[in-house]
Amino acid sequence: MYWGIWLLLIVMTVVTAFIANVDLGRFNTVVALVIATFKASVVVLFFMHVKYTSEKLTKVVIISAIFFLVILLSLSMADYGTRLMH
Amino acid sequence: MEQQKHAASLGMWLFLATELMFFGGMFCAYLIYRYSYPVEFGVGSRTLNLPLGAANTAVLICSSLTVALAIRAAQMAKRTLMVVLLLLTMVFGLTFLVIKGFEWAEKYEKHHIPGASFQLSAEDMKGVSVDPENMQDFQQRTQTFYSLYFAMTGLHALHMIIGVGLFLYLTYAGWKGQYGPGYYTPLENGGLYWHFVDIVWIYLFPLLYLIDRNLQK
């Protein structure tokens, strides 16, 4: 099963590299990050065994960490993104 | 032993949460500056070695596979296989660092290291037009991209070095017969650290190497 996950990750990496050469305008970054998030989720769930753990606390820690990172990134951009001067 | 295993695992996950915030700070800086200097970041990104960056991504994915397989080998009491896989993990890790070394050397030769010797060539500026009087400021802002590039890949590389060191210990202990179906907690937690460092790179690769790669002007 690990080999299947490995293959999936390699394929998604190749897709990421090649799709960067296609002009999608602003969506290039979105697509790249969506694929990256998919890859990261696969690593967390399968390689790090989170899909198979019975420990609720592990998932709480992961969700919390991501939540706080999102606060850092979104509130910072809410500041800089709403400034009129450049 | 089950409770101790869960406690150890929780400890590593909590540490990884702090690591996420540690790298997160630099991702935030990247986000703010990329938003502020989109053209400069595009120029900088296009000068990075995409084939080497992609190769390094594949190398780390392979290393995560070998770690996962090593833990499974421990669970199945296959000591030799486990040691071989742990050695392979370190080989992949070192390969990553060597490739990164080549990339950084290339940056040095092309005068892309921020500082007094920083210089963008005409080739670097291909596809982007900047008024001569703004060129100085443009180069200043592009240096921000490279500063973040070296800071983020440098911090990541430091984590790789620490990871290889950790796995040196795990390989030795594994070879000595300390890990098996009854006990492989240090392997599991070392693996968690290693996978985390892999995930950081999974995000670094598109954010650093793939900005405006399709530029057609």
Which of B35, B50, B207 has its CB closest to that of A77?
B35
Mean pLDDT along residues B199-215: 93
Q: Classify residue B166 as exposed, middle or buried by CB count within 10 Å of its CB (0-12, 13-18, 19+).
A: middle
Q: What confidence category does residue B216 fall into, taking pLDDT thresholds of 50, 70 and 90?
A: low
**CB–CB contact A13 B191 (8 Å):** no
Is residue B11 a part of any domain in this protein?
Answer: yes
Is residue B95 a part of any domain in this protein?
Answer: yes
Chain A, chain B: beta-carbon pairs less than 8 Å apart? 120
Is residue B142 a part of any domain in this protein?
Answer: yes
First to last CA, chain A: 50
pLDDT 10s digits, B68-85: 999 999 999 999 999 999
Does any CB of chain B come closer than 8 Å to the CB of residue A30? no
Mean pLDDT along residues B153-181: 96
Is residue B77 a part of any domain in this protein?
Answer: yes
pLDDT 10s digits, B98-136: 999 999 999 999 999 999 899 888 888 888 888 888 899
Q: Spell out, as residue ranges, where chain A has pLDDT lower than 50.
A: none
Would you say B213 and B44 are in contact if contact means Cβ atoms under 8 Å apart? Answer: no
* Total domains present in chain B: 1
Is residue B15 a part of any domain in this protein?
Answer: yes
Domain that holds residue B155: 2-209
**CB–CB contact A43 B202 (8 Å):** yes
Find chain B residues with C-beta within 8 A of A77's C-beta.
31-32, 35
Domain of residue B115, CATH code: 1.20.120.80
Taking all residues of chain A, what is their mean pLDDT, rounded to a whole number? 93
Provide the percentage of residues in chain A whose pLDDT is more than 70.
Answer: 99
